[in-house]
Amino acid sequence: MNDDALVFQGGTLVSMDPERRVLEADLRVEHGRIAAIGRGLPTDNATLVDARGLHVVPGFIQGHTHLGQAIFRGLAEDRELLTWLRERIWPLEAAHDAASAYWSSMLGGADCLLSGTTTIQDIGLVRHMDDVLRAVVDLGLRAVAGKCLMDEGYGVPAGLVEPADAALAEARALHSAWHGAADGRITTLLCPRFILSCSTELWRGVVALAHELGLPVHTHLLEHPSEEDEVRARLGMGQLEYLDSLGVLDTQLSVAHGVQFDARHRDCLAGRALGIVHCPSANLKLGSGIADLVALSATPGVTVGIGCDGAACNNDMDVLEEVRLSALLQGVKNGPGRWRAEQSFALATIEGARLLGLADKIGSLEVGKAADLVVLDLERPASFGPAGVAVYDRIVYSAARDQVRRVYVAGRERVRDGVVLGVEPEALRRRPAEEIRRLLPRAALG
């Protein structure tokens, strides 16, 4: 817990509160939480942050990441989803050891922080999950994370296949060890990878464990059309229908992608809650398509968030770029004017928090919530806005990560002017490169 009080003075607060207030006000932080918002707040015993001319916004939330893939950037190009996994990503992930998992996660987590991301939902690795979580703690991120669960599948290397009961036992042990760690910044969940790498037995075990421990479930779903084709050939039904038959839709479920979600899926969902994490860069790069955010957002029960996915399909973890793409692509998908910049900004803030079930703690600037904050400098030529231009338009269409001046998680400063604090910059440059050099011979890519 960080006990230092802070007062952000003179900035413009983009609150994302229920009234969506944008206000000229100070913001006081005590014990890692937002203690007061208003003009002329007391500054006793507080460190002052001069926010004049700057915008203070909620810390960004990425609903789908793979920190364990950060050191694979550039090693899996020019493939669509299933060959990308089988020929590159799975062999690379199977070759991880503790050190490579840790330094990949440090690299990916730093990339997230530098664009203003304060919370991630990470779908994890099959092995070395303790090392991924150690990196999250060392960086100071907030995370919902779990071990990636896989127990079968065409093209899955032996190193990633575990018996369902062993995989679930390790997920249970991770929950015991990590849930609520780092002053509550880390919580756990269950992460079956996707239908083509998980047996019916594993899905049933996930549902039982989710109910027993009260855990959310996160997976990949309806990403590329080929995924649905393979599932239908193997199981004789569609992906959502299959998960429904196993009770997965009755857990607190969020899925990455949902590109292929259509009216049939809406009928199958029947109003039950489902989080869908939009990952536009990954969907474009792997040729999966463009999710219809207008339709998804209008679907009863669906909450939409946003994420970068992994650096091997993106190729970076810049949430501001995803937010911008999410808005631009809806112009192509639905025509200009059907989707507003404010909605894209919400994906990375309050809607992202709702998707994670954390809307009472993060996602907006409101008294009592965690002091997860980003200080943005919009007073640059790139994001100039005449009086009257909505701040959401300036941020979503114009802001880039070099305009992120400071990032705070639970009131502790984690980024200042493009530098991740508390991490040795030389180590962050050198160690990931060393680890991927050692890992590649172990992966023996074809």
What is the rounded distance in angstroms from the CA atom of residue 49 to the CA atom of residue 26? 10
How many residues sit in the footprint of Zn ion (CB under 5 A)?
2
Q: Give Cα 326 distance to the centre of its chain.
A: 14
55/66 with CB nearer Zn ion = 66
**CB of 369: closest distance to Zn ion in angstroms?**
28
Nearest distance from residue 264's CB to Zn ion, in Å? 23
* Cβ neighbours of 82 (radius 10 Å): 18
Q: How far is the CB of 108 from Zn ion (least distance, A)?
A: 12
Site for Zn ion in 81-120 (CB under 5 A): none
Comparison of 251 and 288: residue with beta carbon closer to Zn ion: 288
CB of 244 to Zn ion, least distance (A): 22
Q: Which of residues 283-322 bind Zn ion (CB under 5 A)?
A: 309
Candidates 105-113, 253-261, 298-306, 424-432; binding stretch for Zn ion (CB under 5 A)? 253-261
How far apart CA 353 and CA 372 sit, in angstroms, is 12
Q: Minimum distance between the CB of residue 322 and Zn ion, rounded to whole angstroms? A: 13
Longest dimension (CA), the chain: 66
Contacts of 184 (CB under 8 A, 6+ apart): none
CA dist list (Å): 74 to 69, 168, 436: 11, 32, 12
337-345, Cβ contacts within 8 angstroms, sequence gap of 24 or more? 338/294, 339/293, 339/294, 340/392, 341/390, 341/392, 341/393, 341/395, 341/396, 341/397, 342/20, 342/390, 342/392, 342/396, 343/293, 343/297, 344/306, 344/392, 344/396, 345/14, 345/16, 345/392, 345/395, 345/396
Stretch 383-442 residues interacting with Zn ion (CB under 5 A): none
The answer to whether the CB of 286 falls within 8 A of the CB of 79 is yes
Q: Which pairs from 432-439 meet CB under 8 Å and 24+ separation? A: 432/70, 432/71, 432/103, 432/104, 432/106, 432/107, 434/103, 435/71, 435/99, 435/100, 435/103, 435/104, 436/71, 436/72, 436/75, 436/100, 438/99, 438/100, 439/71, 439/92, 439/95, 439/96, 439/97, 439/100
Q: Determine, following the binding rule CB under 5 A, whether residue 223 of this chain makes contact with Zn ion.
A: no
- For the bound state, the minimum distance from the C-beta of residue 220 to Zn ion, rounded and expressed in Å, comes to 5
CB 27 within 8 A of CB 8: yes
In angstroms, what is the minimal distance from the CB of 307 to Zn ion?
A: 8
Q: Which residue is nearest to Zn ion (CB)?
A: 309
- Spatial CA neighbour of 239 closest among 252, 220, 217: 220
From the list 135-143, 250-258, 320-328, 429-437, the region that binds Zn ion by CB under 5 A is 250-258
Nearer to Zn ion, 123 or 375 (CB): 123
d(CA 216, CA 188) in angstroms, rounded, equals: 8
Least Å distance, CB 65 to Zn ion, is 8
Q: Which is nearer to Zn ion, 168 or 255 (CB)?
A: 255
Nearest CA to 306 out of 294, 331, 328, 323 is that of 323
For Zn ion, give the closer residue by CB, 6 or 256: 256
Report in angstroms how near the CB of residue 188 gets to Zn ion at its nearest. Answer: 18
Q: Return the number of the residue (41 or 75) whose C-beta is nearest Zn ion.
A: 75
Part in contact with Zn ion (CB under 5 A); list of ranges 46-54, 237-245, 254-262, 370-378: 254-262
What are phi and psi for residue 278, nearest 5 degrees?
-75, 130
**Please, which residues bridge with residue 302 across strands?**
274
Find where tokens 């944008």 sit: 22
The least distance separating Zn ion from the CB of residue 282, rounded to whole angstroms, comes to 7
Q: How far is the CB of 69 from Zn ion (least distance, A)?
A: 8
Judged by CB under 5 A, which stretch of 83-91, 205-213, 249-257, 403-411 contacts Zn ion? 249-257
Looking at the Cβ atoms of 43 and 83, the one nearer to Zn ion is 83
Q: How far is the CB of 64 from Zn ion (least distance, A)?
A: 6
Torsion on CA atoms 210, 248, 151, 187, rounded to nearest 10: -40
Binders of Zn ion among residues 41 to 60 (CB under 5 A) are none
Which is closer to Zn ion, CB of 227 or CB of 309? 309
Judged by the rule CB under 5 A, the positions of this chain that interact with Zn ion are 256, 309
